[in-house]
Structures are given as C-alpha cells and as structure tokens.
Amino acid sequence: MKVISLADYQQYSLEKMRKNNLFETDRLFCDVYCFEPGQEQKGHIHGAQDKVYLVLEGAGTFQVGAEKQVLGVGQGTMAPAGEEHGVKNHTDRRLRVLVIMAPNPS
C-alpha cells in the first residue's frame, strides 16, 4: 500500500505552475498543483475525462465552462468531460490544489 503525506507535495516553480503526482493508474491520476502568485493553468478541454479540484491552501479563480468563481481552502469544483476549465492564482499568496482526473488521459 502506498501511503503519502500531503505536506510532502509542496514543490513550486517560479517559471510555471508545478504538478506533483501523488497517485496514478491506468484509470485515474491524482496530483497536487502548486501555483505561485499570478500563475495559471489556461482554459482547456478534456474530451473524455472529468476533473475534480479541491483547494488545500490559498485561493484562486476557477473556471468551468463560462462560469468563474473564487474558491478557497476546503472548497472544490468539478469540470465534466467536454467543459473548458482552468485555474488562476490571482492573489499574492501561494495556491495549492488537489486534482483528481479520470479516466487517466495517458
């Protein structure tokens, strides 16, 4: 059994948003995305995958479809397959987000 501690997944990059993988199978993946202030994951679409975002630290602007909303610690949202989605850290503090996607696109 693989056991992880979320505290170990806080690697950031000044160049772009950093993805830190926690778990991955043929059917899903689970990452922690780390955003420095001003960084973003531009809007994009997955044709066959659903994606869940849960905020672990900070706050950010989350887009699903045409809707945008600021989410903070303990809040989350889901982008169903075929919906454009993205995240922007519009604050001056770090943003850390747990991301689960299924099925795994790789």
Note the pLDDT tens digit of each residue in 43-70.
999 999 999 999 999 999 999 999 999 9
Torsion over CA of 55, 61, 62 and 67, rounded to 10 degrees?
Answer: 140
pLDDT on residue 105? 83
| DSSP secondary structure string for all residues of 50-84 | EEEEEEEESEEEEEETTEEEEEETT-EEEE-TT--
Give 97's Cβ-side CA count (13 Å radius): 32
End-to-end distance of the chain based on CA atoms, in angstroms? 23
Strands 50-57 and 76-79: antiparallel
> Which residue matches tokens 């899903």?
28
pLDDT on residue 106? 75
CATH class in words for 25-102:
mainly beta
Which residues of the chain are under the pLDDT cut of 50?
A: none
Q: Is the pTM of this model over 0.75?
A: yes
pLDDT on residue 46? 93
Q: How far apart are CA 63 and CA 43, in angstroms?
A: 7
